Copies of this chain bind each other. A is one copy, B any other.
Amino acid sequence: MPDLMEIAALRAAGKEAWIRAAVAACVDGVVEKASKDGKPYLEVQLCDARDRFALRVWSDNGQYDAAQSLAAGACLRLEGEFHVHPVFGLESRKWSFRALEGEEKENFLAGPADMRARQEEDYHFIEAEVAGLKDPRLRALAASYLEKFGPRFRRTAAARFFHHARRGGLVEHTAQMMRYAAAICTANASLHRDLMVSGVLFHDCGKLWENCVEEGGFGMPFDERGELLGHINIGIELVNSLWKSLPLDEWKEVAPDSEDVRLHLLHLIASHHGELEFGSPVQPKTPEAIALHYIDNLDAKLEMLARGYETSAPVAGRIYDKVRPLNVRLVAPLSVGA
């Protein structure tokens, strides 16, 4: 057992009995509460890269005052006994906490190793795809995006709820969509591969402001730009801004015309929700726009299903209760034969 466990790992290990362990977690808020008969307690919301739980601190606990003064964003080492109550979930006793420090904190904020490794791999895959773009404008644009916004990109979630709603989720979503895009271009050679790959890279880039996870923690604050404009408009503004820094004069002779490339790429961003009622100001009008829209939906929906199988309560046998925003009960996938 590692020195500092993840919340999800604690949850798995504490199913049968109380275990002694230390967990790393970030404070997401402290709220004063009280039981109906007036006994006050604090509810300390704790989260890490993948999970969250609430630590209850009763007023007669010697650490009440320390807990009360915890600031959102504080990173803690919480050591104690833990157990998963069938009803109340993860419970704790005989605990004490202190601030995470130095490398310990850095490691924690970096996220769990497997997630980090997957996102690292996904990010390298994205970099390789960008490096492989043949169109010089798109390659330069994508490279400048990774260069200037790479770290922010790697912190961003693909959504606030529902799918890839975690730090780095946008990298995972983007990489998997690129895999689908590459595969589909193999099956249909008439699609413009460079445009598809670039469209995947930039389609949600406005989320770097709408769904960005803060640097020193795991919170995802709301952003006025996101509220007033939406990620599609922010994404278009970002591409336009990067575009202006490109040495376009060098490519005056390159076909097709640079302005055409810019417009088609912006169209992919603008239309990727597929229908006006889902927030796209224009509907897809080119083959790549159609394909991007379906690839986006495919990956989002498959992630929702994967999450649903993990988190949704079975209502019978291989049937799982509805998970939002899917409005259906799920059925376990058909197993592959031996």
Contacts and interface: CB of A to CB of B under 8 A. Distances in A.
Interface of A: 31-37, 39, 85-88, 134-135, 176, 179-180, 182-184, 186-188, 192, 194-195, 221-225, 227-230, 232-233, 236-237, 240, 254-256, 260-261, 263-264, 266-267, 270, 276-288, 290-291, 294, 297-298, 301-302, 305-306, 315-319, 327-338
B229 A282 contact: yes
Nearest to A332: B286
The CB with the most chain B CB atoms within 10 A, among A194, A254, A330, A334, is that of A334
Nearest to A261: B334
Contacts of A39: 36-37
B228 A331 contact: yes
Nearest to A263: B228
A188 B233 contact: no
A307 to B, nearest CB: 12
A334 B192 contact: yes
Contact of A237 (B236, B276, B334): B236
Contacts of A281: 229-230, 232-233, 279-281
12 contacts: A32-B85, A36-B36, A36-B37, A222-B316, A227-B319, A228-B266, A230-B281, A230-B282, A240-B240, A285-B328, A286-B334, A294-B301
B192 A336 contact: yes
Contacts of A276: 276-279
A164 to B, nearest CB: 15
Nearest to A334: B264
Contacts of A225: 263
B279 A331 contact: no
Contact of A184 (B184, B285, B327): B184
A230 B227 CA distance: 20
B256 A334 contact: yes
B135 A286 contact: no
Given A183-B187, A318-B224, A33 B334 contact: no
A332 B329 CA distance: 36
